[in-house]
Structures are given as C-alpha cells and as structure tokens.
Structure 1
Amino acid sequence: MPAAVLFDLDDTLIDETTASRDAVLAWAAELELTGPGADQRWARISARHYSRYQRRELSFAQQRRERVRDFLGTALTDTAADRLFATYLRHYEAAWTVFDDAVPTLRRARESGLRVAVLTNGEHSQQHHKLERLSLLSEIDLLVASSTLPAGKPDPGAFRHTVNHLGVEPVDVVMVGDSLEKDVFGARAAGLSAILLDRDGTRAGSGVPRVRSLNDLVFTPDRKMTPT
C-alpha cells in the first residue's frame, strides 16, 4: 500500500496554461502587438527555450531572455530583455490560480496517512513562490524542483531523490501528473506507480491508470490509493 504520493505542480495543482495565456495576451496588448495567435506562439517559444533550460543549455535567466527575443523578433540587450520579461511576469503571477480539486485532494491524502510531496520541473525559487502565494505550501510535506537536481523529470533520478527524502521506498509511492512522458513513464522507470491526470479527456487510449479530476483519486484510512 502507498506510503506517499507525489504531485506535479504546473497544470496538475495550478492552472499554468491559462495563466501563461492570459499573461501573454495582456502583455502583448501593452506592447501594442496586433494579430492573432500570440498565445500559441508564446507557448511554442516558451516550450523550446524552457526545454533548453531543463537540458542545462541555458540558465533560468537566459531562457527568459531568449523567449522575449524570439517573441518580439528583435535583438535585445540582457537588460532590455529582463525589463520586458518583468512586465510579462507581473501579469503571469497575477493570473496564477489553483485548480478547485487541488487543496481538497492534498488534504484528503494527508488525512489518510500519506506523505505528500510536489516534484516539479522548474526553478525552486519560483515554484516555492507559487506554492506560498497560493497557500499550498502548508498542504504538502516536501517540494523538490528540478533546478536542485542533476536532471528533472522524466529522469528516474528525480523520482528516486524525492522518494529518498521522504524516507520511503519507490514501490510504496504513487506519482500523479498531467504528462504521460515526464510524470507517468518517468515514475515507472524509477519503480513508482503512476496515475495520469487527463483533465480534458483526450488520452483515453494511453493504457495507463488515469483520472479526469483529482477528486477521482480515492484515499482510504489504510493508505490505499486508487483512481475511481
């Protein structure tokens, strides 16, 4: 039976996609950028450079600057890029929201006797700020961000590191997240069980245990955990 549950953060507990979309649209309007598709273009650019950051090709600050330069299509000094990104960041942080099912689920898990951790691919300071700002930090036992690790998800080492810090065995841990590759396959490679969070119901043929909502996770007093 599980002793702990790990949750992804962005688009699992926090609606990161909507926050990013709303932020870039507000930012583009401030910059008087016209034309459709700014949010989709920003998402593609962000994914590309954030992946480079995850591969340690860029620092966290550098990937932010490259996103701004690509989005605006112009050469910018680091200072200018930082200033522009700060404007986007103000909108982004204002748009952070917690999914309605997040806090009740975290509380149910802990009340059932499970230890609860967040394992996230991100910069520790920013992810800690999200949890603190949205009153989630007190709902978990541990935060592990990829910036503090040699490699992030889906590297099995990220999961093993988190499990070791919780003082439990991989076989006694379940990972819950929205990414099939990073959360589910990565967890399984490290010896954990995993449940896919499929909020929009588009991955019915994935062949893995999945839930449409965190409310569908069932925790019992004997620490059993299953999707409904």
Structure 2
Amino acid sequence: MLFDLDGTLVDQESAAAGAVVEWAAEYGITGPGVADRWAKLSDRHYQAYQRRELTFQEQRRRRVNEFLGLSVDDDEADVIFKGYSARYEAGWTVFDDAVPALRQIRAAGLKAAVVTNGNADHQRYKLERLGLTDEIDVLTTPDGLPAGKPHPQIFLQAVEQLGVSVADVVMVGDSLDRDVRGALAVGIDAVLLDRYDVHPDADVPRIRSLDGFSPPLRRRQ
C-alpha cells in the first residue's frame, strides 16, 4: 500500500492555514483571504521546486518575499520563515483514521509506504514528530529524482523499495492528479481519498475516509 502524507495521513492544510494567519498578522496582513492566498502562492512555488527549478530552501524564501511584499536577502528570509514554520509544525496533527488504517493494512500482512513530494529530511522529521515512523515500512520522496508526483519515477521507486511489482500495489491519496492519475499512468491501482467531497464526480475509486479501508483487488486476466 502506498499512501500520500499531507492531506491523507496528516492534516497539513489546517496547520498551514492556522499558522499563516497568526504569522501574517505580525506583519500587518490580515483578512479572510490570508490563508487561501498563502496556500495558492505556496503551491505555485512548491511546484517549481518539484520541477527542480528551485531548491527546497529557495521556494521558502520566495514565498516569504512575495507574500509579505519584501525583498530581503536569503538569511533574513530564512529567519522570517521560521516564524511561520514554528507555528506550522506546532499545528501538525494526524487524521484520526490514519493510524488505525496503517495498522490494519500491516496486520493483514501488507507493507505500508508513504510516497510524498516533500523534502526527505522534512518529511522524516514530520513522521518522527507525529509518531508515524514506526507505523510505516518505507518512505519515498523525490530527492534525487527528476520530479515528484505525478512523475512516474517516484511511484516506480516506491515499488522497488517495497520489493514488489506495480500489479501488487495500490496508491491512496487526496490529489486526483498527483496521487491517483499519476499512479494509474504507471499501472498502479489507485483510490482517491476525498475527505471534503471535492471530486464527487471523479471517474476513479473514491472514499471519504480511511475508516475500515481495504484495498481493492485487481481483476487478474
């Protein structure tokens, strides 16, 4: 079983929204659209990092300068970003259904891998901080690869790390394009975790929760 991390096992979105509202207020930025603007800006720069146009640290610095309307050097941008990241990390929580699902999967004799577009060191730290390290068998990140999901290589690397074939794997994630369509493109069965009913008409297997989840069995030819 392959699981996405942020938005699937970890409630990253709520953590980011709460953190940025507090942080931005220190710089005089308030209002109902703060969290949404930060999310869109962050996604744009993070995608550039995933395409290897920026380093992990560079995308953070660009987010700081653009969001706050600044033009500071790298060292100052790093310091400013820490004000956000401290709040963000404090807000990390594991979805209530995540650990039971992971334990159920492994109790059934299956291996559980996390396949994330996040930076390896950052995501290892997140797993450790949230007590998820011992709940999984493999962590797959795009470090050293051409790009993150939906690039095929990251899925194939996860399969290789697990020592299985694509026919033996199911991917579960909250992104229709990155997680589900990316996995399907390399022959991996995939399930969309649509917690907030964003894709009611999606033409792929869809669940609203990991409660009682069991992987679909591929029909063998």
Query: Is the structural similarity TM-score above 0.5?
Result: yes
Give 2:216's match in structure 1, choosing from 205, 223, 226. Answer: 226
Residue by residue, what CA displacement relative to the aligned partner does 1:27-69 show, whole Å, maximum 9, x if unpaired? 1123333333111111111011111101101111100000000
Q: How does 1:118-157 map to 2 (within 5 A)?
A: 118-157=114-153
Give 2:209's match in structure 1, choosing from 187, 207, 213. Answer: 213
Q: How does 1:58-137 map to 2 (within 5 A)?
A: 58-137=54-133
1 CA distance for matches of 2:70 and 2:25? 18
- RMSD value over aligned CA atoms? 1.2
Residue by residue, what CA displacement relative to the aligned partner does 1:86-114 show, whole Å, maximum 9, x if unpaired? 11010000000000000000000000010
**Higher mean C-alpha displacement, 12-21 vs 208-217:** 208-217
- The structure whose residues are more often strand, as a share, is 1
Matching residue of 1:179: 175
**Which of structures 1 and 2 has the larger relative contact order (alpha carbons within 8 angstroms, sep 6+)?**
1
- TM-score when scaled to structure 2? 0.95
- Displacement of 1:175 in angstroms is 0.1
2 CA distance for matches of 1:202 and 1:50? 22
2 CA distance for matches of 1:153 and 1:57? 15
Q: Give structure 2 stretches of 5+ with no counterpart.
A: none
Matching residue of 1:13: 9
Matching residue of 1:222: none
Matching residue of 1:42: 38
2 CA distance for matches of 1:134 and 1:208? 30
Matching residue of 1:30: 26
Q: Which amino acid aligns with 1:121?
A: N
Moved segments of 4+, more than 4 Å: none
2 CA distance for matches of 1:117 and 1:105? 12
- CA contact 1:174–1:192 (8 Å) conserved in 2: yes
- TM-score when scaled to structure 1? 0.92
